[in-house]
A and B are shown apart, each in its own frame.
Chain A
Amino acid sequence: MSTTNHHPPIRRILLALDTATHDLAAFEAATALAAHLDAELHALFVEDINLLRLAALPFARETRLISATTRRLQNPDMEHALRAEATRAQATLATVATRLHVRWSFQVTRGQVAAQVRAAALETDLVAFIFSGGAPAGLTHIAATIETLMRGAACPLLMLPPGAGIRPPFVVVYDGSTASARALRLAAPLAQAEGQGVTVLLVAVDPSMARRLRSEADALLAGTKVTAQYPALPRPEATAIARAVRAASAGTLLMAADSPVFDGTARRRLLEDLECAAILTR
């Protein structure tokens, strides 16, 4: 593991797309981040092999969430639906990337979503996920993929729920780890570009640790023109942090992907409830 506070430069962003309908704001956010970092944006649309297999089964039926009615699933229909979604996503990306002058590419692949994204993530510096709304988020393959990547991937992750964008207020969860230091270092230029400060949530078990973390955070921000706020956290717990994030009306949350404060359930819960963009650093 690298011990530097500086994140390796992000030159290539992988935008992972699944079969759900995608939100324009999320495309805008991923592309804007690429523009900000002067990075290339590579979109990967995975045609989920499980869906194609499902549609080929003789009894396959789909239950609509709006009406609870069922319809017979056909393989050609499913393929057509996946192609249509890919075409829509590509067109949207082309429009946004051209406008923001971002180099981009679009790839359609077929297979297990998690495996495909994991494989593509090896050649990239940041993985961005766009996931659609609607219940229940945990059932989508992207969610499963995120969990997988959070556990194993080496690169940072960007999660874009519906309507989210890279915008202030920027809230950083700082626990003293290298990854959280990188989160703070990443937040500083983003906030500066917007002429805003950052809110730093210090994950400290006692006052002395809080003081230490704060001085570290101040040191990390030294040399930037970014001001920081350090709201008091009643407890160094996931629920308190989640509440503080909501209280700050965070526009973008930055935190370590594997912060020890969050156990698997709490982190997953925080991310599922997210209404803003989140950048998970390593």
Chain B
Amino acid sequence: MISIQPLIPEALCTQCDPEQFSFATTAELEDLTQVLGQTRAVEALKFGIGIRRDGYNLFVLGEPGTGKRTVVRQFLDDKAAHEAPPPDWCYVNNFQEAHKPRVMQLPAGTGMKLKNDMEQLMADLRAAIPAVFESEEYRTRRQEMEEKLKEQHEQAFEELRKEAESHSIALVRTPSGMAFAPMHKNEVVSPEDYEKLPEDERQRIEAVIATLEEQLAKIIHQIPQWRREGQRRIRELDREVTISAVGHLIDDLKKEYAALPAVIEYLATTQQTVIDNVDDFRHTTEETPEITFLGIPISRPGGAPSLRRYQVNVLIDNSASKGAPVVYEDSPTYAGLIGRIEHIAQMGALVTDFMLIKPGALHRANGGYLMLDARKVLMQPFAWEGLKRVLSAREIRIESLGQALSLVSTVSLEPEPIPLNLKVVLLGEPLLYYLLSEYDPEFSELFKAAVDFGMDMQRNGDSNQLYARLIATLARRDQLLDLDRGAVARVIEYGARLVEDAEKLSVRLREITDLLREADHWAREAGQQVIGAADVQRAIDAKIFRSDRIRERLQEAIQRGTLLIDTSGERVGQVNGLSVVDLGNFMFGHPSRITASVRLGRGEVLDIQREVELSGPIHSKGVLILSGFLGARYAPERPLALSASLVFEQTYGEVEGDSASSAELYALLSALADAPIRQSFAVTGSVNQHGEIQAIGGVNEKIEGFFDVCRMRGLSGEQGVLIPAANVKHLMLRRDVIEAVRNGQFRIYPVNTIDEGIEILTGIPAGVRNADGVFPDGSINARVEVRLLTMSELARLYGAPMPGPAESEE
């Protein structure tokens, strides 16, 4: 008989001794500046931020609440503060192709200056150009030209008129033209008088008029040419006058921006455009009022649209930046990342121009760092594809989704792309990282630096001290009351319980912070100046109470006998298994009855859960291992003629996990050996084909779940739980469980093998094969082996051919 001793109370929870701390309250502790328990992540972060190569963007993976965003932000802020501010980026009009706005990179702070200078230039031009065109000199010269043209016209007509008059013929204006008529005493000759004229006189008049008409036609033909020539001269004059007004103003600007060739080129183009479109400046003294129809604006307010082309759209202004930008984009939509081109309604149509180009997060972070939540990026339509495209192309090209997907073909803008120089830091859960690595071939090319944030840290004396400082820092950051050393110790124990490991501490700062806040609440409510251990415990208890309605219902159902769970007596083929229910922010354990029945069969172990598809794949695997164990141990050279049924009684949902596989095997062995199992025990642990018990998760919740049921019915001192020995180091049990164990009311057995467990459960030795390979008589193993041999023999007999009628006759 193997002698397994129950665990002593000290093994059930590695408590934190407050006396190890020299401080009275956390007020005495300095802030913690280092990152606890994230050595690997910190090194990876430093590497990822430091390396300046394409594709070395960062993916920071870690569970929510590990503080990865805070840590990353802190590192990025520190790094960015020592870097030079990035340049300004502006969009200006492309005077040759207006739908392709040009981009200008300018030294930080120069963008706004250029914008203001251009606005001032426009204001100056609006004043200078009309002034020069209204000047006496211009008016005189223009009038001279117009008069010359007019004189040219009139002289031609006057000469023609005089020519006609010399023949007593008048040039007469008719409703739609001109005509020649013979005159007499300042009146047109009447038809009657004309008829009275001699024939040769009439012929002379008609001939003269015909000649005059030819001359008139020539003059009329020449009028457009004279007009064109006159207009050309006026245009030349306008141009000359404009240059005189514009030239010196733009020259002043050119001197200021002499070191920036892009600006010089832009100013030169601007000058040429102003000269070519001088009329825009001659008639803009009054701003165009906004036109509305039924209250809806249908025109663009704010001055003549033609002058907008000279404005500067400062996309990114780094005039106030002290270092490289660190941007966290909380809403990483496609447009929020890439930027967008807005439109405004004008006369019922949507129009746009370079001034309506708006930056995205990539623009704002260019030259620095951009932090994004991976999940949010992936959830936003096309944001992930857009981000990858930008990172691959190393330039930000603003185009609407309609353009990118070729859904619209209307004329829009195609702004020049902006070169990209930034690091993107994606923050997300590990699963996202693994999925992207597996299924997105571009991901590994673009996010080469993985920063893996762990969930826990080693627990020892030194780390307890650091953890205490962490607690002090968190409390101060949230302006909470200070904690006394007892409270700190209790928080540390809670940190170990969170990761279900007595030798580790949780670094999920969100949950620790929440506990501190709630403990602060209870301490303040009690009128205390310092948070004590009782306040922390109250916060833990209150949190559990707020969340454990379902657990209470389950326990009530067990207590009332609705759910059948025995906690005393013995039954063959029946054992109390333990399972865990995860409600998201709260986990609890509860016992489930597992039963097994055996009969002659073909060697299969039938899991009823699996048959009705209420079993997860890991649970199914655990059950199939049982067949392997039975065959290997008891019938290595014979067919296993067993048919066994296993079932989780009174479960109505899916069962997953293999932590019940040892319990199922105990029930099976009990049924085969016909050995009753003590119902005062509950069992957890998975088993392998060699009968070794393996560690499982949720050991604390499982023990406490069975303990609560037993306590409800009265602790007898016979009750207890069998757990894998490998789980002992994970024990961080509740105080009441430990007290019950200390008082001998409850026991927890660490088991390594099935043999150890079955002995505790049945009180019968498991038995070990002797030198002849035979189990001792009466042992569990011997009884199982005999049963299986018997079944095998029976199966062989049933499998032999039956004698036929002819033979019996013989």
Contact = CB atoms under 8 A, between A and B. Distances in A.
A8 interface: no
Interface stretch (B46-54, B170-178, B409-417): B170-178
B351 to A, nearest CB: 32
Given A64-B176, A65-B177, A135-B223, A58 B154 contact: no
A280 to B, nearest CB: 22
Contacts of B187: 49-50, 53, 112
A131 B260 CA distance: 59
A63 interface: yes
B161 interface: yes
A67 B217 CA distance: 9
A63 B213 contact: yes
A82 interface: yes
Contact of A54 (B139, B179, B216): B179
B234 to A, nearest CB: 16
A141 B172 CA distance: 9
A58 B220 contact: no
A81 interface: yes
B188 A138 contact: no
Nearest to A138: B154
Given A53-B191, A54-B188, A65-B220, A247 B175 contact: no
Given A53-B189, A56-B190, A59-B206, A139 B179 contact: no
A19 interface: yes
Nearest to B161: A139
Contacts of B179: 54, 60-63, 73
A85 interface: yes
A222 B131 CA distance: 34
B760 interface: no
Interface size class of B (residues with CB under 8 A): 35 or more
Nearest to B189: A53
B23 interface: no
Interface string B200-234: 00000110010001001100110100000000000
Contact of A68 (B143, B154, B206, B221): B221
Nearest to A71: B177
A63 to B, nearest CB: 5
B586 interface: no
Contacts of A138: 154
A136 B157 contact: yes
Interface string A1-27: 000000000000000000111000000
B175 A50 contact: no
Contacts of B206: 59
B181 interface: yes
Contact of B191 (A56, A78, A81): A56
A57 B221 CA distance: 26
A109 interface: no
A63 B178 contact: yes
Given A60-B179, A70-B213, A54 B194 contact: no
A49 B189 CA distance: 10
A57 B190 CA distance: 7
A35 interface: no
Contacts of B171: 139
Contact of B175 (A56, A63, A81): A81
Interface string B253-270: 000000000000000000
A64 B176 CA distance: 6
B340 interface: no
A82 B176 CA distance: 11
A73 B172 CA distance: 13
Interface size class of A (residues with CB under 8 A): 35 or more
Interface centre among B171, B180, B209 (most CB of A within 10 A): B180
Interface in B148-188: 153-154, 157, 161, 170-182, 187-188
A213 B157 CA distance: 41
Contacts of A65: 176-178, 220
A73 B157 contact: no
B217 A68 contact: yes
A54 B172 contact: yes
Contacts of A21: 175
A261 interface: no
A54 B174 contact: yes
A140 interface: yes
A63 B177 contact: yes
A208 to B, nearest CB: 26
Contact of B181 (A53, A81, A139): A53
Interface in B656-708: none
A73 B176 CA distance: 11
B139 A59 contact: no
A63 B209 CA distance: 11
Interface in A32-58: 49-51, 53-54, 56-58
Nearest to B193: A53
B48 to A, nearest CB: 70
A243 B141 CA distance: 12
A140 B173 CA distance: 6
A273 to B, nearest CB: 8
A140 to B, nearest CB: 5
A246 interface: yes
Contacts of B176: 62, 64-65, 81
Contacts of B220: 63, 65, 67-68
A263 B538 CA distance: 113
Nearest to A51: B174
Interface string B123-144: 0000000000000100110010
Given A54-B174, A62-B177, 17 more contacts: A50-B187, A51-B174, A51-B175, A53-B189, A54-B172, A54-B179, A54-B188, A59-B205, A63-B220, A65-B178, A73-B174, A78-B175, A135-B154, A139-B157, A139-B172, A140-B173, A243-B140
30 contacts: A50-B170, A50-B188, A53-B188, A53-B189, A53-B191, A54-B188, A57-B188, A57-B189, A57-B191, A57-B194, A59-B205, A59-B206, A60-B181, A63-B177, A63-B179, A63-B213, A65-B176, A65-B178, A68-B217, A68-B220, A78-B174, A81-B175, A135-B153, A135-B154, A136-B154, A138-B154, A139-B172, A139-B173, A141-B173, A243-B140
Interface of B: 136, 139-140, 143, 153-154, 157, 161, 170-182, 187-191, 194, 205-206, 209, 213, 216-217, 220-221, 223
The 5 closest A-B pairs by CB, nearest first: A68-B220, A56-B191, A50-B188, A53-B188, A54-B181
